């Protein structure tokens, strides 16, 4: 039953059931084996190729995402619902294991550059566990296309990523002739020898004896299997940042803790972590260093367990006035040229526009010291009846409560900080007018007070940086300037 190119799609008679967690390319290969056709022919029969489109190779990033229109065609040809199809693509991990996808409309190009930018997925090749492939008859798992899979916990082996025969990477989307069982790739070196005939499930992977690395893989598997569970993204994001830090600043990172000889040898041969995305054994080295490198054996277990938990390790310095997230997996301090390597469970993460930055305890202490309001007697260079009234009310409230009282209204301190900012900002500047506007909003609870002047309240339609009905009037009519430079900017006027 073979349809011609121009014919409409027909329902295929032989459609294999997708294996749990299978990748899309693997399912297409299974379809090809069942129907005894080539991979390209299977793509066409299953509706992945638009009818009438030229017969060429599958796209480079096949399996990253399936467009709705394609999913409908595949549904018509195979009966596989679009939702099941989506679960076999890397897009299934978006907003979880993988970050927020690019903005719509999604195109193959935007999805592939998104995947390339985040460097977590392997869209064009796969790792694999040969014993798993033997058991399933050549079904490749989607999670093997993530750097987070470096071992198989069931068979206790490290995954492999290259063919033992020809050295090419495995289960590639291009070039075409490969399938899920035999390598069949023709590398440049083997042109004369013809396609590689190695059977992938007969390749021998290195065994895992390091129980800690197996535990790390179990934790990663649990996160991959629930890609959208809250907290998981956080753990993986900090782990990824740690791995990248080890890759970039390899000489500053702690040495590899004791582990399997295969892992140690691989790291020694590579003298670094440059290719950890390509080689599962190198991924194991950087995960081992990130999770326990440099910490003493007596605290290693405790830190390691806490790092992978949803809450993360405990705050090492509870005296900090601004609580910060604790670093889970170590890395280099991101402050300027600070050379400190921060161990797991120490140092802090600070949010910035570019994402979270890891800081050593010294630099974390600098950003975590909170601003304190000025003494109540202090006046700035600007005050008005409104600011004077508010300062008097805040003084009353402070005197009425005990400073040591933990339950004291924290808004009190916030209101004092706004008032301080207003009194120390040039009132003729836009910012100064906006701050005065903010101070007047803080007067709302005091309207019944005998000294309260209703003109201080904000009017309907009033703009934060312009006086009502008088956009050219920069200074509030009640303003009293105590600054010797008057309304001019400090320094712009000779005294
Ligand atoms: Zn396995
Ligand atoms: Zn090969
Ligand atoms: Zn530092």
| Ligand 1 center–CA 155 separation, angstroms | 5
Is the peptide bond prior to 393 cis by the omega test (within 30 degrees of 0)?
Answer: no
pLDDT in 10s for each residue of the chain, 495 residues: 444 444 566 788 899 999 999 999 999 999 999 999 888 889 989 999 887 777 666 677 889 999 999 999 999 999 999 999 999 999 999 988 898 899 989 998 999 999 999 999 999 999 999 999 999 999 999 999 999 999 999 999 999 999 988 888 899 886 556 577 888 887 766 667 778 889 999 999 999 999 999 999 999 999 999 888 888 888 999 999 999 999 998 888 999 999 999 999 988 877 677 789 989 999 999 999 999 988 888 888 888 999 998 888 887 665 667 888 888 999 999 998 898 999 998 888 888 887 788 999 889 888 888 888 888 776 777 888 999 999 999 988 888 887 777 677 778 889 999 999 999 998 888 899 999 999 999 999 999 999 999 989 988 888 888 765 444 444 555 555 554 444 444 433 333
Measured in Å, residue 160 CA sits from the centre of ligand 2 at 12
| CA distance linking residue 157 with residue 140, whole number of Å | 16
Three-state secondary-structure class, residue 153: coil
What is the Cα–Cα distance from 440 to 456, expressed in whole angstroms?
A: 6
The bound ligand whose nearest atom lies closest to the alpha carbon of 190 is 2
CA–centroid distance, 280 to ligand 1, in Å, is: 14
Strand partners, 207: 157
The closest ligand to the CA of 165 turns out to be 2
As a whole number of angstroms, the distance between CA 139 and CA 134 comes to: 9
The label of the residue with tokens 């059977």 reads: 199
**Separation between Cα atoms, residue 400 and residue 68, nearest integer Å:** 65
Q: Which residues surround ligand 2, an ion (CB under 5 A)?
A: 163, 165-166, 183, 196, 198
CA 22 – ligand 1 centroid, Å: 13
Q: 309 vs 22, 153, 242, CA distance in Å?
A: 28, 20, 16
d(CA 334, ligand 3 centre) in Å: 7
Q: For residues 184, 188, 190 and 196, what is the CA-based torsion angle, rounded to 10 degrees?
A: -10
Q: What is the whole-number distance in angstroms between the Cα of residue 267 and the centre of ligand 1? A: 23
**Nearest ligand to the CA atom of 182:** 2
pLDDT, residue 89, reads: 96
Could you say which ligand is closest to the alpha carbon of residue 358? Answer: 3
Rounded to 10 degrees, what is the CA torsion of 59, 61, 62, 64?
Answer: -150
Nearest ligand to residue 184 Cα: 2
CA of 165 to the centre of ligand 2 (A): 5
Separation of CA 175 and ligand 2 centre (Å):
13
CB 107, CB 91: distance < 8 Å: no
Q: Give the model's pLDDT for residue 490.
A: 41
Question: Residue 282 C-alpha to ligand 3 middle, in angstroms?
Answer: 27
Residues in the chain: 495
Ion ligand 1 — residues with CB under 5 Å? 129, 131-132, 152, 155
CA of 170 to the centre of ligand 2 (A): 8
Residue 480: the pLDDT is 53
Report strand pairing: 348-352 vs 341-342: unpaired
CB 34 within 8 A of CB 16: yes
Measured in Å, residue 169 CA sits from the centre of ligand 2 at 8
Tell me the longest C-alpha to C-alpha distance in the chain.
Answer: 100
3-state secondary structure of 280: helix
Distance CA 470, CA 339 (A): 55
Burial 380-407 (b: 16+ CB within 10 A, else e): bbbbbebbebbbebbeeebeeeeeeeee
Other CB atoms within a 10 A radius of the CB of residue 435 amount to 25
Write phi, then psi, for 254 (nearest 5 degrees).
Answer: -65, 155
For residue 464, the model assigns a pLDDT of 87
Strand order of the sheet with strand 325-326?
325-326, 348-352, 355-359
Predicted confidence at residue 318, as pLDDT, reads: 59
Ligand nearest to the CA of 331: 3
Give distance in angstroms: CA of 97 to centre of ligand 1.
21
Give residue 135 CA to ligand 1 midpoint distance, Å.
9
Burial of 6 (0-12, 13-18, 19+ CB in 10 A): exposed
Judged by its nearest atom, the ligand closest to the C-alpha of residue 151 is 1
CA distances from 320 to 77, 323, 362, 369 (A): 62, 6, 11, 7
Q: Which ligand number lies closest to the CA of residue 336?
A: 3
CA of 152 to the centre of ligand 1 (A): 5
User: Which residues are registered as beta bridge partners of 3?
Assistant: none
Distance 335 CA to ligand 3 centre (A): 5
> Could you check whether the bond before residue 209 is cis, i.e. omega within 30 degrees of 0?
no
Which letter does DSSP use for residue 336 in this model?
Answer: T
């Amino acid at each position: 039953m073979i349809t011609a190119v121009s014919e409409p799609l027909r329902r295929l008679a032989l459609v294999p059931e997708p294996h749990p967690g299978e990748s899309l390319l693997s399912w297409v290969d299974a379809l090809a084996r069942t129907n005894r056709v080539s991979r390209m022919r299977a793509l066409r029969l299953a509706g992945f190729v638009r009818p009438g489109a030229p017969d060429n190779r599958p796209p480079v990033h096949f399996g990253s995402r399936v467009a709705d229109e394609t999913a409908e065609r595949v549904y018509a040809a195979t009966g596989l619902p679009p939702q099941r199809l989506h679960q076999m693509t890397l897009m299934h991990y978006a907003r979880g294991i993988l970050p927020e996808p690019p903005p719509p409309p999604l195109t193959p190009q935007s999805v592939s550059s998104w995947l390339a930018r985040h460097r977590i997925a392997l869209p064009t090749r796969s790792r694999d566990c040969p014993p798993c492939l033997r058991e399933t008859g050549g079904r490749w798992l989607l999670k093997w296309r993530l750097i987070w899979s470096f071992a198989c916990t069931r068979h206790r082996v490290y995954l492999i990523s290259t063919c033992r025969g020809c050295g090419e990477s495995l289960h590639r989307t291009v070039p075409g002739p490969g399938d899920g069982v035999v390598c069949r790739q023709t590398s440049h070196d083997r042109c004369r020898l013809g396609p590689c005939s190695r059977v992938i499930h007969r390749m021998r992977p290195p065994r895992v004896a390091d129980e800690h690395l197996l535990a790390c893989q179990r934790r990663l598997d649990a996160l991959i299997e629930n890609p959208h569970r809250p907290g998981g993204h956080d753990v993986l994001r900090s782990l990824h940042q740690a791995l990248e830090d080890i890759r970039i600043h390899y000489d500053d990172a702690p040495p590899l803790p004791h582990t399997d000889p295969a892992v140690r040898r691989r790291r020694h041969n590579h003298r670094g972590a440059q290719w950890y995305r390509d080689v599962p054994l190198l991924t194991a080295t950087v995960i081992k260093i990130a999770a326990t490198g440099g910490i003493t054996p007596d605290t290693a277990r405790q830190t390691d367990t806490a790092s992978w938990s949803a809450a993360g390790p405990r705050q090492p310095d509870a005296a900090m006035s601004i609580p910060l997230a604790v670093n889970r997996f170590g890395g280099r301090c991101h402050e300027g040229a600070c050379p400190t390597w921060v161990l797991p469970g120490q140092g802090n993460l600070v949010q910035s526009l570019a994402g979270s930055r890891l800081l050593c305890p010294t630099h974390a202490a600098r950003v975590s010291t909170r601003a304190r309001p000025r003494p109540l007697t202090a006046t700035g260079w600007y005050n008005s009846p409104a600011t004077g009234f508010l300062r008097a009310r805040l003084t009353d409230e402070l005197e009425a409560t005990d400073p040591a009282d933990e339950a004291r209204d924290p808004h009190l301190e916030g209101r004092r900080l706004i008032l301080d900012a207003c009194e120390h900002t040039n009132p003729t500047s836009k910012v100064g007018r906006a701050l005065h506007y903010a101070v007047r909003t803080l007067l709302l609870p005091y309207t019944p007070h005998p000294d309260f002047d209703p003109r201080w309240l904000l009017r309907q339609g009033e703009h934060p940086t312009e006086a009502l009905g008088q956009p050219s009037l920069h200074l509030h009519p009640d303003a009293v300037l105590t600054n010797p430079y008057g309304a001019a900017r400090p320094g712009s006027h000779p005294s």
